[in-house]
Amino acid sequence: MRLLPVVVTGLLTVAFAYYVYIPLPDAIQEPWKLMMMDAGFRATMHLASLKAWLGFDHYITSIRQSMDGFDGMVKRSESGAGVMPGVKVSDITFADIPVRVYEPPAGGEGHLRRGLMFLHGGGWALGSAKKGSYDAINRMLSDELNTVVVAVEYRLYPEVHFPVPYLDCLTAAKHFLSPEVLARYAVDPERVAVAGDSAGGNLAAAVSQEISTDDTMSVKFSVQALIYPVLQALDFNTPSYLQNQYIPILYRTLMVRFWLQYLGADLNLESQFMANNHSSLHHSKITPELRARLDWTVLLSPKHKKSYKPVIVEKGSEGVLKAVPGLLDVRAAPLLAGPEVLAKCPRAYILTCENDVLRDDGLMYARRLQDAGVTVTSDHYEDGFHGCLSFIAWPFEFDVGKRAVRGYFDWLKNNL
What does the pLDDT profile of the chain (416 residues) look like in tens digits?
Answer: 566 665 555 555 555 565 778 889 999 999 999 989 888 888 888 888 888 888 888 989 888 888 776 665 554 443 444 566 799 999 999 999 999 999 998 765 568 999 999 999 999 999 999 999 999 999 999 999 999 999 999 999 999 999 999 999 999 999 999 999 999 999 999 999 999 999 999 999 999 999 999 999 999 999 999 999 999 999 999 999 999 999 999 999 999 999 999 999 999 999 999 999 999 988 889 999 999 999 999 999 999 999 999 999 988 777 888 899 999 999 999 999 999 999 999 999 999 999 999 999 999 999 999 999 999 999 999 999 999 999 998 888 999 999 999 999 999 999 99
- CA-CA distance, 327 to 318, in Å (whole number)? 14
- Which residues are paired to 392 by β-bridges? 397
Give, rounded to a whole angstrom, the gap between the first and last alpha carbons of the chain. Answer: 70
Residue 399 annotated in active site: no
CB-count burial class (<10 Å; 0-12, 13-18, 19+) for 323: middle
Q: Which of 356, 360, 361, 383 is flagged as catalytic?
A: 356
Q: What's the pLDDT at 80?
A: 46
Q: How far is CA 194 from CA 19, 149, 235, 380, 407, in A?
A: 39, 10, 26, 20, 16
From the list 382, 320, 373, the residue with the least C-alpha distance to 351 is 382
Q: Which of 62, 198, 212, 390 is flagged as catalytic?
A: 198
CB-count burial class (<10 Å; 0-12, 13-18, 19+) for 298: exposed
Residue 64 phi/psi, 5-degree rounding, is: -60, -40
Residue 90 annotated in active site: no
Residue 111 annotated in active site: no
CB-count burial class (<10 Å; 0-12, 13-18, 19+) for 120: buried
Q: Which of 120, 283, 304, 386 is flagged as catalytic?
A: 386
3-state secondary structure of 320: helix
- CA-CA distance, 409 to 238, in Å (whole number)? 30
